[in-house]
Structure 1
Amino acid sequence: MQTSRTSSSGWAPRLLAILLALLGLAALGGGLWLIVLGGSWYYSLAGAAMLGTAWLLWRRRPAALLLYALLTLATLVWAVWEAGLDWWPLAARGDVIFVLGALLLTPWVTRALGEPGEARRVSALRGSGLALSVVLVLALGVAGAALFNDPHRIEGRLPEARATLPPEARTIPEGEWHAYGRTGMGQRYSPLDQITPQNVDRLEVAWQYRTGDIPGQPGDPVETTFQVTPLKVGGRLYLCTPHQNVIALDADTGQEIWRYEPKIRDGLALQHLTCRGLSYHDPAAYPAGAAAATAPEGARPAMENTAATSVSVPAATEGARGVDNCARKLFMPTADGRLIALDPETGGVCTSFGEGGQINLWANMPNPNPGGYYSTSPVVVTRNLVIVGGTVLDNVSTREPSGVIRAFDVNSGGLVWNWDSGNPEQTEPLPAGQTYTPNSPNSWSISSVDEALGLVYVPMGNQPPDQWGANRDEDSARYSSAVVALELATGRVRWVFQTVHHDLWDYDVPSQPSLLDLTVNGRRVPALVQPTKQGELYVLNRETGEPVLPVTEQPVPQGAVEGDRTAPTQPVSRLSYDPPPLTGADMWGATLFDQLACRIQLRRLRYEGRYTPPSLQGSLVYPGNFGVFNWGSVAVDPARQVAFTTPAYLAFISRLVPRHDDTTLYVQGSNRPDGSLPALNENFGAPYAVQLYPFTSALGLPCQAPPWGYVAGADLTTGEIVWKHRNGTTRDAAPVPLPFRMGVPNLGGPMVTAGGVAFLSGTIDYYVRAYDVTDGRQLWESRLPAGGQATPMTYRGRDGRQYLLVVAGGHGSLGTKTGDHVIAYALPRGS
């Protein structure tokens, strides 16, 4: 009877033996490959142990359990040695090993081991099973300890208010939000204090509004996004949608008041389709004489200095009403290269501005290609000027329009000055028939302005193509990936600070600078805080461009592809979020097998740390061009002199592909563009195309271990990161919607208030969250109907309540759910 029972149950160990043999062969083969590449020996040894266990199981030897117990113990020791008590890296190393060990202890397996009637073998079975059980219990204990440990967390408390805020050149009521960063200083700070850490968890939805503008329409590029931060002026909110509709809402109810729909021309070669915000001008907001020293001279009539344009655009008044003379104006940049002025009261077009209410930004532009130049970000508005930058296509060709910055008279639309980084000395308006410098570095992000100092601060991009710089001229090289201070009166350069020398990594300056005054060593300093993709926060004197916090030049990897060069050093700030270089121990996956594949992939890439040059074999770029910081920038509290930041960490791969002609699509593959959409990363006219993609495993998971996103608080006077916490869950990014709190990337900016609360909605899970600015604790969260890749704002309603406003529209290239939602939160009435 015993023999018959054992024989009939022998299928279990043999099936498990087959599985172990297959997994062992995979680990052994991959492990040997990794050894050849100079990596860890663990995987090959683990594979050999799995094969040994499989052989013993097949022969029904109790020693299989003992050998596997030794493998499990060795794995536990190795995992703790490499990762410490960090749950997610430990889980990736041990999950398969643990599950297989648990299966080995099931009755279907253990009853079939050993020979019937042999007491010595039964004793061996019991001893081996006990050893494996003890090791598995030990592994559970270590995993439990790791589950409640967070080695990435920094605990601390930011200081309370320690400065009196100086008056600004423009008067803005404390309950309003007149610019993308509330003011032209780009702080993303509100003086409202009704919402506090003590009551923020009582926030409830006050109203919701749907714009009806959903991304994904025919002709849309992949990166079609609802990134707007609305303005609040008087009793109204003003916002724009991805397809350039401009909408006015009642701030207390969300009811639509008016809508303007510009007739955007078809057939645009768009890389991005978005509108991050509008700009507002009210001459009554400026105290008399407040900006007399910065008033521009020589502003010309609207069209006197405008050359004939080679790109025709629709009339701004097509299908819309006109207003002869607007006392106040809203400015809307469009995807087809226009700047339209609207009347905030009626939504009518201000026909006295420019030509029929708009400026055609294609004037004097080289290489005209509809959609190849446009502004995705709100323009800068001062007492006298409206200052416009724009984006050009990245990595499409070397024959793109200019990245010129232009200042127009805010009333007439006349061109006052132009600053072209390819021809920086000629700031007087170009005469008809001349064009700006082709392919010069552009400014696609949001600029800031200090009207008292008479300066506008422009974050600059790169001269395309991003990963090949051999043909950049001296001026383009000087202003690429830099923040530039231009005089409001003349457009001339006051100072320039370059954040990356000879940028080959698409580390353009993506964020709006934040302007505030700091007290350093007992002295008040007018400061500028500039976040960057590579993780530096440069704190500069905004009058001179000199560092307030120390900046050192540090050696970086050398050896660009033939014909190009690398800079010998790069600037590093005392306030830096630069992560440690990646190693094999930092590789991650759902199991040890995709982790092994990531280790092999890492070893096959060129990687010598940050600023590893692009290469033909493929280089690892970490941080990747997604950026530690991107267009969402940071939020600063000028009273506390601190920054609320949202660093993100994702690695990318950059592989140069030699071009043998100027027409073949070398990198598009099956993703060839439809219609007029551009062939991205082909770099027509350059010797190399470029393949750019995230560093992920075959399962689509990042190869680097989490966390991938944080919230962090920094003291801007010392450069210290005082607290830092992982932020966000995988609920909306994983195949199974489980809310694992791993720390996920964020795209969209934070906002802080005088009440000591910060808000953020840009994580790739669909939540808006509130945090205590002092210590970073999450205080509240609310589920959103779509991705919240925008920057929240706050205002006071006519009912006296402080509102939080969030836009949830998703982001095409991030894959977050798209939508058209505008949601207002407030504390309950009477609270």
Structure 2
Amino acid sequence: MSPRKPINSKVPIVFGIFILTLFSACQKEASTERHATWTHYGGSPDQSKFFDGDEITKANVSQLKVAWMYPTEDETPYFFSPIIVDTVMYVMGKNSSLIALNVVTQEEIWIHANLMGLTRRGINYWESKDKKDKRLIFTISNTIQAIDAVTGLSVMSFGTDGYVDLREGVDRDPTSIRRIQPMMPGVIYKDLLIIGSAPGENYFSPPGHVRAYNVVTGKMEWIFHTIPHPGEFGYDTWPKDAYKYVGGVNVWSEITVDTERGIAYLPVGSPTYDYYGADRIGSNLFGNSIVALDANTGERIWHYQTVHHDLWDYDLSPAPQLLTVDRNGKKIDAVAVATKHGFVFVFDRVTGEPLFPIEEKPFPPSAMPGEEAWPTQPISSLPNFTRNEVTKETLNPYFPDSIKQAWYKRLEEAKSGLYVPPSDQYETMMMPGALGGANYGNSAADPQNGMMYLLTQEHASIYKLNKVEPPKIDLSVNEVQRIKTLYSSTCQTCHGVDMAGGVGPSLVNIGQHVFFDEFRSAVINGKGQMPGFVHVDEETLKAMYRYLGGNPASFNFRRNLEPKTPEGPVVASGGVKIRPDENRAPAMSAYPKDTEHPTDRYTTEYGLEWPGLAAPPWSSIVAYDLNEGVIKWRMPVGQDSLYVQGDQSKGAPGGVLRKGMIVTSTGVVFSTAKGGKLYAFDAENGKLLWEETLSRESNAQPSMYMLNGKQYLVINATSNFARDSYNHSKKPGALPKGYVVYALPGNK
């Protein structure tokens, strides 16, 4: 049995802390030179989304106009965040091709076509000190690959035959792993790619150990076991041998690096299974923790766990932000992290000491068999940026009276509030739910002024645990009804009541046209604009596949999709050839024979079918002054017609956020939001300086670059508007899908 107290080690390596502190004291104020480029997902390795450029100011930002755009020329929604190196911009388009653009002429330099399975959010750029070797490093189909950034050709000397298999080295049979690559690109530090994973959140998913690979050779240089092995720190916060079957505890979002100190900050996610943890009794380090590692060796420096024994899917996912704050007249280099459930925790960047008090407070126990909810949870003294309860008083006022009455009854029978454990006896209504709060891409900072900016949403989840039943060959009446319920709550909005399609394609007899692996990957990982539904268990997936006309016996095979060669300077196609598994093992589906485990397992759906359950605004941008520890301003963002009566083109502030921000040195905060909205706010007081409505939805991190003294803002506008949004692509003069580049009028 694990000890009944959380472990939050702040000074495990005393000598290392002394050296780091001494180095910090001798260090000059951090240079902003690295913030004048956008070569990483978040601009630079600190993921601050901060840009040092003086042309666009508060006074002239309202004059921004479209300078040029690059159409993607297909119907695929891309979530890709462009990076810019010198005069070259790298984007995705044209049937999932990686494209190099000359930002001076706006012409294509090269196209590497048909990179199906490439991580959706972006890629990494690395160059040697002499600038003779320039590479794009990315993950695709559970591998790491490299492309020559100048020629667009695959680097065959990388790894073995041009790739590294990410499935190897994570405590499972590699051939049994179906998914492991992260949805974010990782981060480059020196000659290392530091990378997390997205192994799924079902029972027996692979563990999410964080690894570093040499960008030249592909050799794994270090691994940090997020689920500790025997003898490692934190092993006693789990049951014996839990590392053999527990999964998750992964960094699926942004990794932040302090390049001056050589410290990587990991926002670590939840253990599996997210909502029932009878097989992982204990506080479960390093789940839901911010972990500071030596970026050169992977050794732990300090950590802090923000949720003990998580039962609510409260991953840490926004990038930890590096700031210099003024506390009581003393300048302190800090790291701040925001959570899905609305808290901000701030620490000394080197020692891990909290800069604002954190109190362990008691919360209700679980009534589920075998479950032991942790008796206390850490509560930050900083103001919370979300609501944490759904009540009759906070219910959406736009609901028709019949829906209100139905919800009043459900609320009477349900439980809602912070850290209420899920149950199989009643519904728990968590605010925020699985989507947050703040989530990936939703944090930014002005590093020198102690200001952190968050995009946040108030989207509830409704959970009710159900026992996992043994697999069945035929669909029972109850199973059919469950599938219909699942379809209506998660699929119907996009695919239609009759499955004939709408925003999404038709699903009529789709099982007869795709193999199970493709179907499974699309549901769990997402595809195009469709999000992933990682909590759908394997048996439900198979049942739904049969319901859609498929035969699960085909699940060990994949079709060879016919590649399409786009027009333009295509130099290669498909990346490197990956060797097929000679004998593919089934995915892990049971506890190892030599481990103790509960008799029963329980699962629940995401419970996201009511995104507008609470009153608007559903989405906001929030500015924290971490010098004083206060919320300085908050503004609603986005446009969502959900449940709003009257003119649907006006809507209400809100919408599910998977968007991004840019903070400039001139005090402007750019933000995208649902409904194709693009904003510029005054960083000091939140005043709206400029607003634009895009012709397409944006679901990617914006980018910024300078060229000959002129400043450019890049927006990926390639996603479709949802049915609950006004479709601005129908307006006269609407731009096609593509990357839209804004600048001030005139030449410079």
Structure 1 range deviating more: 449-458 or 366-375 = 366-375
> Which residue is equivalent to 1:359?
164
Q: Structure 1 residue 689 and structure 2 residue 603: aligned?
A: yes
Of 609, 618, 621, which residue of structure 2 is paired with 1:708?
618
Question: How many residues in Structure 1 have an aligned counterpart in Structure 2?
Answer: 593
Deviation at 1:793, TM superposition (A): 1.8
Of 40, 46, 49, which residue of structure 2 is paired with 1:188?
49
2:640 aligned partner, one-letter code: T
> Which residue is equivalent to 2:124?
279
Q: Structure 1 residue 416 and structure 2 residue 221: aligned?
A: yes
> Which residue is equivalent to 2:153?
348
Rounded to whole Å, the distance in 2 between the matches of 1:285 and 1:538 is 40
Of 400, 406, 421, which residue of structure 2 is paired with 1:597?
406
Q: Residues 184-223 of structure 1: matches in 2 within 5 Å?
A: 184-215=45-76
Of 117, 136, 156, which residue of structure 2 is paired with 1:330?
136
Aligned partner of residue 611 in structure 1, secondary structure? coil
Deviations 1:579-610 (A, max 9, x none): 25332111223333322222222112222x11
Describe the shift of the 1:668–1:560 C-alpha distance in structure 2 as closer, same or farther (beyond 3 A). farther
Deviation at 1:682, TM superposition (A): 4.5
1:465/1:683 contact within 8 Å kept: no
Deviation at 1:171, TM superposition (A): 6.0
Of 188, 191, 212, which residue of structure 2 is paired with 1:381?
188
1:727/1:741 contact within 8 Å kept: no
> Which residue is equivalent to 1:523?
330
Deviations 1:147-199 (A, max 9, x none): xxxxxxxxxxxxxxxxx98335x963x54211111111111100112111211
Deviation at 1:243, TM superposition (A): 7.0
TM-score by length of 2: 0.74
> Which residue is equivalent to 1:822?
739
Rounded to whole Å, the distance in 1 between the matches of 2:386 and 2:715 is 30
Describe the shift of the 1:212–1:190 C-alpha distance in structure 2 as closer, same or farther (beyond 3 A). same
> Which residue is equivalent to 1:614?
422
Rounded to whole Å, the distance in 1 between the matches of 2:231 and 2:102 is 45
Deviation at 1:781, TM superposition (A): 1.6
Of 385, 389, 393, which residue of structure 2 is paired with 1:577?
385
- Structure that is richer in helix per residue: 1
Describe the shift of the 1:264–1:554 C-alpha distance in structure 2 as closer, same or farther (beyond 3 A). same
2:668 aligned partner, one-letter code: V
Deviations 1:114-149 (A, max 9, x none): xxxxxxxxxxxxxxxxxxxxxxxxxxxxxxxxxxxx
Structure 2 gaps of 5+ residues are 1-26, 233-241, 488-509, 524-533, 539-589, 591-599, 730-735
| Percent of aligned pairs sharing the same letter | 28
Deviation at 1:375, TM superposition (A): 1.8
> Which residue is equivalent to 1:126?
none
> Which residue is equivalent to 1:804?
713
Rounded to whole Å, the distance in 1 between the matches of 2:714 and 2:28 is 25
Of 238, 243, 247, which residue of structure 1 is paired with 2:99?
247
Describe the shift of the 1:448–1:281 C-alpha distance in structure 2 as closer, same or farther (beyond 3 A). same
1:732/1:765 contact within 8 Å kept: no
> Which residue is equivalent to 1:559?
366
Describe the shift of the 1:651–1:421 C-alpha distance in structure 2 as closer, same or farther (beyond 3 A). same
Deviations 1:218-277 (A, max 9, x none): xxxxxxx63222111100112346975322112244332212235547xxxxxxx85211
1:424/1:492 contact within 8 Å kept: no
Deviation at 1:613, TM superposition (A): 1.0
TM-score by length of 1: 0.67
> Which residue is equivalent to 1:459?
267
1:210 aligned partner, one-letter code: P
Of 30, 36, 45, which residue of structure 2 is paired with 1:167?
30
Structure 1 range deviating more: 200-209 or 483-492 = 483-492
Of 686, 690, 695, which residue of structure 2 is paired with 1:776?
686
1:443/1:458 contact within 8 Å kept: yes
Q: Structure 1 residue 448 and structure 2 residue 256: aligned?
A: yes
Structure 1 range deviating more: 528-537 or 354-363 = 354-363
Rounded to whole Å, the distance in 2 between the matches of 1:437 and 1:491 is 21
Aligned partner of residue 755 in structure 1, secondary structure? coil
Rounded to whole Å, the distance in 1 between the matches of 2:276 and 2:162 is 40
Rounded to whole Å, the distance in 2 between the matches of 1:826 and 1:380 is 28
Structure 1 gaps of 5+ residues are 1-163, 216-224, 266-272, 287-325, 428-434
Rounded to whole Å, the distance in 1 between the matches of 2:284 and 2:404 is 40
Structure 1 range deviating more: 459-468 or 369-378 = 369-378
> Which residue is equivalent to 1:73?
none
Describe the shift of the 1:448–1:285 C-alpha distance in structure 2 as closer, same or farther (beyond 3 A). farther
Higher RCO, 1 or 2 (CA under 8 Å, sep at least 6)? 2
Q: Residues 370-769 of structure 1: matches in 2 within 5 Å?
A: 371-395=178-202, 398-423=203-228, 437-438=244-245, 439-472=247-280, 477-575=284-382, 576-579=384-387, 581-588=389-396, 589-607=398-416, 609-616=417-424, 617-662=426-471, 668-669=483-484, 675-676=516-517, 677-678=519-520, 680-683=534-537, 687-694=601-608, 696=610, 702-730=612-640, 737-761=648-672, 763-769=673-679
Deviations 1:267-311 (A, max 9, x none): xxxxxx85211111123399xxxxxxxxxxxxxxxxxxxxxxxxx
Describe the shift of the 1:465–1:827 C-alpha distance in structure 2 as closer, same or farther (beyond 3 A). same
Describe the shift of the 1:436–1:695 C-alpha distance in structure 2 as closer, same or farther (beyond 3 A). closer
1:177/1:231 contact within 8 Å kept: yes
1:203/1:828 contact within 8 Å kept: yes
Deviation at 1:484, TM superposition (A): 1.3
Deviation at 1:642, TM superposition (A): 0.7
Deviation at 1:683, TM superposition (A): 4.2
2:622/2:634 contact within 8 Å kept: yes
Deviation at 1:612, TM superposition (A): 1.1
Rounded to whole Å, the distance in 2 between the matches of 1:734 and 1:704 is 13
1:211 aligned partner, one-letter code: T
Deviation at 1:364, TM superposition (A): 2.9
1:618/1:655 contact within 8 Å kept: yes
Rounded to whole Å, the distance in 2 between the matches of 1:493 and 1:560 is 35
Describe the shift of the 1:695–1:669 C-alpha distance in structure 2 as closer, same or farther (beyond 3 A). closer
Describe the shift of the 1:242–1:556 C-alpha distance in structure 2 as closer, same or farther (beyond 3 A). farther
Structure 1 range deviating more: 585-594 or 736-745 = 736-745
2:461 aligned partner, one-letter code: F
Describe the shift of the 1:254–1:470 C-alpha distance in structure 2 as closer, same or farther (beyond 3 A). farther
2:440 aligned partner, one-letter code: W
1:242/1:275 contact within 8 Å kept: no
Describe the shift of the 1:165–1:596 C-alpha distance in structure 2 as closer, same or farther (beyond 3 A). farther
Deviation at 1:797, TM superposition (A): 2.0
1:535/1:629 contact within 8 Å kept: yes
> Which residue is equivalent to 2:555?
none
Rounded to whole Å, the distance in 2 between the matches of 1:241 and 1:512 is 26
> Which residue is equivalent to 1:9?
none
1:505 aligned partner, one-letter code: W
Deviation at 1:534, TM superposition (A): 0.6
Rounded to whole Å, the distance in 1 between the matches of 2:121 and 2:536 is 27
Deviations 1:304-324 (A, max 9, x none): xxxxxxxxxxxxxxxxxxxxx
